[in-house]
């Protein structure tokens, strides 16, 4: 099981970035996302994608992030450009345990670095937590995540030039 | 040479997403980003990262996207969840030519699909143009992009628990 924990979410400023983090978590095969600040609109945005495109992805906002970190039964991965380079640490990640992937906002408290089992950098350049999460999950699932069948009401069929969306009859 | 073209940028609504697109473009080894709507603040944000962290990445906003598409000397790749799955099309991409990677916003005009040499889906689920660009460039550069030395004033050294930033003396 893979849970994404988003820390430092500010509903007004971060609404779109956190929505992208949530949609990447779902599309790249995480099981759920927990977000520290209560934000019903964000929950509904993500759940509306789940409703239309399928899968069992879950969202919870307004969680106690400290409690989650301290009670996590598995390994904790913190994605940060200050961490160890993914190429150096990836093979050391314990397999077969539940992962909590922590994705911070601009400022991340020292204690997150301390409690994480692995602080992992998707390169050491500043870029995006959205990209970092996608890259990490893509490496973790070795690309297989891009072929999951979510069995949704809507299904997109790839095409060279157009848009093909198949809608399942209720 | 790899150029990213961001279409449909709305300065107020998209400022953070487009900033992330730009930072991903830089960090993942594209050469420059062109953005359709004039947005000096966005330019300055991205250029301040270039100034501190190095490299020769360039930004231009307020470009005529249609003219760029029609005069591009190379191949045009449009990243869209409606396109062909990256696993199916990746090996068909012409090598050794300049690439223009088009990253749209929510609604993308039909003509972009038509003019693109390749419409490529990073999976057929809705997620994020930030993630799509990162994944595409990661596949394109086979992970080597995460190890580029940008020779900036600031350099981050990966570490297990802390933050190590080395500042070059002027």
- Convert the pLDDT of each residue in A29-39 to its tens digit: 999 999 999 99
- Tell me how far apart the alpha carbons of residues B162 and A33 are, in angstroms, rounded to a whole number: 25
Contact flag A138-B135 (C-beta cutoff 8 Å): yes
What part of A 71-110 touches B (C-beta under 8 Å)?
81-88
What residues of chain A lie within 8 A of the CB of B128, using their CB? Answer: 20, 23-24, 130, 134
Note the pLDDT of residue B46: 98
- Tell me how far apart the alpha carbons of residues A48 and B57 are, in angstroms, rounded to a whole number: 37
Contact flag B84-A128 (C-beta cutoff 8 Å): no
Q: Mean of the pLDDT values across residues B96-112?
A: 92
> Nearest residue on chain B to A85, judged by CA atoms?
B158
- Tell me how far apart the alpha carbons of residues A39 and B148 are, in angstroms, rounded to a whole number: 38
Write out pLDDT tens, residues B23-82: 999 999 999 999 999 999 999 999 999 999 999 999 999 999 999 999 999 999 999 999
Tell me the residue range of the domain where B114 lies: 2-167
b/e map B107-146, b = 16+ CB within 10 Å: ebeeebbebbbbbbbbbbbbbbbbbbbbbbbbbbbeeebb
Residue B13 pLDDT > 70, yes or no? yes
Write out pLDDT tens, residues B132-170: 999 999 999 999 999 999 999 999 999 999 899 999 876
ipTM: 0.97
Q: How many CB pairs under 8 A join A and B?
A: 167
What residues of chain B lie within 8 A of the CB of A83, using their CB? Answer: 158-160
Write out pLDDT tens, residues A105-150: 878 889 999 999 999 999 999 999 999 999 999 999 999 999 999 9
H helix intervals, A28-151: 40-53, 65-71, 86-89, 110-115, 129-140
The CATH number of residue A85's host domain is 3.40.1280.10
| Best residue of A79, A158, A166 to probe chain B, by most B CBs closer than 10 Å | A158
> Is residue A124 a contact partner of residue A81, using CB atoms and an 8 Å limit?
yes
Contact flag A160-B83 (C-beta cutoff 8 Å): yes
Contact flag B159-A128 (C-beta cutoff 8 Å): no
Closest CB from A53, A114, A133 relative to B125: A53
Per the structure, how many domains does chain A have? 1
């Amino acid at each position: 099981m893979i849970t994404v924990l988003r820390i430092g979410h500010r509903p007004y400023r971060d609404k779109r970035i956190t929505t992208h983090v949530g949609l990447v978590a779902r599309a790249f095969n995480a099981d759920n996302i927990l977000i520290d600040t209560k934000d019903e609109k964000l929950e509904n945005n993500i759940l509306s994608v789940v409703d239309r495109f399928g899968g069992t992805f879950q969202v919870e906002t307004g969680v106690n992030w400290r409690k989650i970190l301290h009670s996590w039964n598995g390994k904790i991965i913190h994605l940060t450009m200050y961490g160890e380079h993914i190429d150096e640490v990836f093979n050391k990640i314990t397999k077969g345990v539940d992962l909590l992937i922590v994705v911070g906002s601009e400022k991340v408290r020292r204690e997150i670095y301390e409690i994480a089992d692995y602080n992992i950098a998707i390169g050491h350049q500043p870029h995006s937590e959205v990209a970092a999460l996608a890259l990490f999950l893509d490496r973790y699932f070795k690309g297989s995540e891009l072929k999951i069948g979510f069995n949704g009401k809507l299904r997109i069929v790839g095409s060279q030039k157009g848009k093909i969306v198949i809608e399942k009859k209720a």
